[in-house]
């Protein structure tokens, strides 16, 4: 009886309310902070929330999303975007951090979840260290109902930064790191350093 009522209430609450929200920008721009804020608001409203990140992302914690300011919220690490579908029964809101590290199936997964009435909130780097579109982020932006572009402050000149400049000599696309490996730069400073 309880499970039936729970399922019925869940279906009533989520009918026609699915959406895809993308929070994107450079490193140190507050993407994860904004994601955590939106997820906490949903939890405060007694919505059923599930949070995911790529299993490879273990910089601060294995089973939490952690911002650079050390705010955190528990999450489930997954190896593949398809795992999110398997773990999303009876959920109102899904949060996904570090979306750029997921496989190219993530936009399809997010579309499917939104079409089922789930609010999907995604945070990720929109560009890699070379200033090129990163992973599934361009496709996620194209299917998003709402996009929030956040900016850091350029470490060189103080303007708004939108690039994540790599400080170490390594050509691997994925190189986890913090301030010792990356710095936020504006377009002019990024182009000057990389010309």
Show Cβ contacts of residue 2 under 8 Å, excluding neighbours closer than 6 positions: none
* Pairing between β-strand 163-166 and β-strand 182-185 as defined by DSSP bridges: antiparallel
Is 21 tagged catalytic? no
Strand order in the sheet with 119-125: 76-78, 49-54, 93-96, 119-125, 19-25, 146-150
Q: For residue 19, which phi and psi values (nearest 5 degrees)?
A: -160, 165
CA 73/CA 64 separation, integer angstroms? 5
Check the CA dihedral 43-67-87-103 and report its sign. positive
Q: List the structure tokens of 130.
A: 């070379």
- Choosing from 98, 156, 171, 180, which is the catalytic residue? 98
Torsion of CA 131, 69, 96, 160, to 10 degrees: -30
Q: Where would I find the beta strands (DSSP E) of 2-48?
A: 19-25
Q: What Rg value do the Cα atoms of the chain yield, rounded?
A: 17
Catalytic residues: 98
């Amino acid at each position: 009886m309880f499970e039936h009522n729970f399922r019925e209430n869940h279906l009533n609450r989520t009918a026609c309310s699915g959406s895809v929200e993308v929070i994107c920008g450079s490193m140190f721009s507050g993407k994860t902070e904004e994601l955590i804020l939106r997820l906490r608001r949903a939890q405060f409203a007694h919505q059923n929330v599930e949070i995911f990140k790529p299993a490879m992302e273990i910089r601060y914690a294995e089973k939490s999303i952690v911002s650079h300011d050390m705010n955190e919220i528990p999450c489930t690490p997954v190896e593949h975007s398809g795992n999110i579908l398997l773990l999303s029964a009876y959920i109102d809101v899904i949060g996904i951090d570090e979306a750029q590290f997921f496989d190219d199936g993530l936009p399809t997964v997010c579309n499917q979840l939104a079409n089922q009435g789930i609010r999907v909130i995604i945070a990720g780097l929109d560009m890699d260290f070379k200033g090129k579109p990163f992973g599934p982020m361009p496709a996620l932006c194209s299917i998003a109902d709402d996009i929030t572009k956040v900016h850091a402050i350029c470490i060189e000149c103080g303007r708004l930064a939108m690039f994540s400049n790599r400080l170490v000599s390594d050509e691997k696309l994925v190189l986890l790191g913090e301030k010792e490996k990356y710095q936020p730069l504006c377009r002019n400073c990024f182009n000057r350093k990389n010309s």
